[in-house]
Structure 1
Amino acid sequence: MKGGIELRGAHVHYGPLEALHGVTLAAPSPALTVLLGRNGSGRTTTLRALAGTLPLTRGSVLRDGADITHQPAHVRAAHGLCFVPDRQAVFASLTVAENLELAHPKGDFAAALDVYPELRPLLARRAGTLSGGEQRMLALSRAPLSGATAVLVDEPTQGMSPVTAARTYELLDALDACVIVAEQRLPPALRPGGGTRRTAVVHELRRGAVVFSGEPGELSPARNSLHHAE
């Protein structure tokens, strides 16, 4: 597949425990792909395998049709892959301004403050002193600043207010990139009437295997009610 990222027959182990059982899935570009599933389903493991922070036991990772299975994470990052994990996604000892400066090659972080103006009065604060939602905003601000062509985010709106979460999905929706997010529930932007403007793909994982792949509207009512339940 050109213009995206794929896993083919991916197996991943944590010690003796196999976490992914031959997962095959594709994330096109430019598009928004959601890895949907409960805790322990394999969502985070799949993201880490795509980002290169977790090696495959078997299988392959393809980027724009090229095999990058053995390419280390820092090389994938240098080639335009931005990975935002769900924990430790900011440099805690650096200020907010210093974190933003690192995300842009010329230190111009105005675009991030346009998306998240809440960060402006916090520029001099150490990132480690921010609330969980503020740290997620800071981490997500790397996406518009880095110019990445592939953006992988684990639970992007964790700790955010509903208003800020909606703004975050507007940001992700506007990126000219292959965007992959891991979520426990289908994001409101992808539900009927949610307003997303771009192609969206959903892969539902359960116990380390893909049990559904398709468009958000193809999810069965039973699956929708399961994942929408609070």
Structure 2
Amino acid sequence: MRGMELRDARVHYGPLEALHGVTLAAPAAALTVLIGRNGAGRTTTLRALAGTVALSSGAVLRDGRDVTRRTAHERAAQGLCFVPDRRAVFASLTVAENLGLSHPAGGPARALDAYPELRPLLSRRAGTLSGGEQRMLALARALLSGAGVVLADEPTQGMSPGVATRTYALLGALDACVVLAEQRLPPALREGAGRTAVVHELRRGAVVFSGEPGELRARP
């Protein structure tokens, strides 16, 4: 299968087991959304896919190949872009410098077309931006990366409703395996943002539902 998979993945933080044998698939052709309350395991699942936390047992697969032992740096070098919920930009660099790191061979035109709000901020240091502006910058960097896998933790946090809707459309249009972590399914994704959507609901470190958005809404 093209895309990302976890198979019977377990993650420990010290004595605490955060993921209890999670198995889920994020097909490349779909937009995958991990939902659940804080502490449900959404962020840990993303970090396991990205390689920023190690599995205690189980496996991570990309396009059917086992990448469990590959470091986060190696996965990034092979076309995986992870946008964490915090510290997703280089605070001491300007907006222009952040964008330049993502696509050094070309200009930031694509990112600025997606987020024109960043144009007057190009000379500003990223650490001085508002929370929503930093999320725009982080997602703009992901758009420029050309990554085959994009993982984003609460991508629209701090954004206005209009910018959030635009962001989901941009993510849905990427030619990539896209996995998002959200507390609940956003209205803009209920119809798949223009592409097939897959939802995995986590609760206390385990998957309690996997299916399409319509199936999730039909649950009691």
Q: What TM-score results when the alignment is normalised by the length of structure 2?
A: 0.97
Letter in 2 for 1:54: V
Alignment gaps of 5+ in structure 1: 224-230
Within a 5 Å distance, the mapping from 1:1-230 to structure 2 comes to 1=1, 3-191=2-190, 194=191, 196-221=193-218
What amino acid sits opposite 2:22 in the alignment?
V
Distance 1:82 1:118 in 2: 22
Distance in 2, Cα, partners of 1:221 & 1:161: 28
Cα distance, 1:139–1:11 mapped onto 2, change above 3 Å: same
Superposed CA RMSD in Å reads 1.1
Q: Is the 8 A contact 1:41 1:206 kept in 2?
A: yes
Distance 1:101 1:196 in 2: 28
Unaligned runs of 5+ in 2: none
Farther-moved stretch of structure 1 (35-44 vs 212-221): 212-221
Cα distance in 1, alignment partners of residues 3 and 185 from structure 2 = 21
Deviation at 1:107, TM superposition (A): 3.9
Are the counterparts in 1 of residues 11 and 56 from structure 2 also a CA contact under 8 Å?
A: yes
Task: Read off the aligned partner of 1:48 and give its amino acid letter.
Answer: R
Asked whether the 8 Å contact 1:105–1:146 carries over to 2, the reply is no
The question of whether the paired residues in 1 share the 8 Å contact of 2:168 and 2:189 is answered with no
Q: CA deviation at 1:173?
A: 0.9
Take 2:192 and 2:63, find their aligned partners in 1: how far apart are those partners? 28
- In the TM superposition, what whole-angstrom CA distance separates every residue of 1:181-228 from its partner, at most 9, and x where no partner exists? 00001011222xx572111100000000000000111014456xxxxx
Partner deviation per Cα, 1:30-52 (whole Å, 9 max, x = no partner): 22000010000000000000000
Which ranges of 4 or more aligned residues in structure 1 deviate by more than 2 Å?
220-223
Indicate the SS of the match to 1:165: helix
Answer whether contact 1:91 1:127 (CA < 8 A) is retained.
yes
Secondary structure of the structure 2 residue equivalent to 1:219: helix
**Equivalent residues of 1:7, 1:26 under 8 A apart:** yes
Q: In the TM superposition, what is the alpha-carbon distance from 1:105 to its structure 2 partner?
A: 3.5
Q: Displacement of 1:59 after TM fit?
A: 0.3
TM-score, normalising length: structure 1 = 0.93
Distance 1:60 1:160, change over 3 A: same
Moved more, 66-75 or 103-112: 103-112
Check conservation: 1:32, 1:198, Cα contact below 8 A: yes
Aligned-residue identity in percent? 78
Q: Residue 143 of structure 1: CA displacement?
A: 2.0
Secondary structure of the 1:25 match is strand
CA contact (8 A) 1:4 1:178 kept: yes
Whether the 8 Å contact between 1:100 and 1:107 is mirrored in structure 2 is: no
SS at 1:141's partner residue? helix
> Would you say the 8 A contact 1:31–1:179 is kept in 2?
yes
User: Does the Cα contact within 8 Å between 2:80 and 2:149 map onto a contact in 1?
Assistant: yes
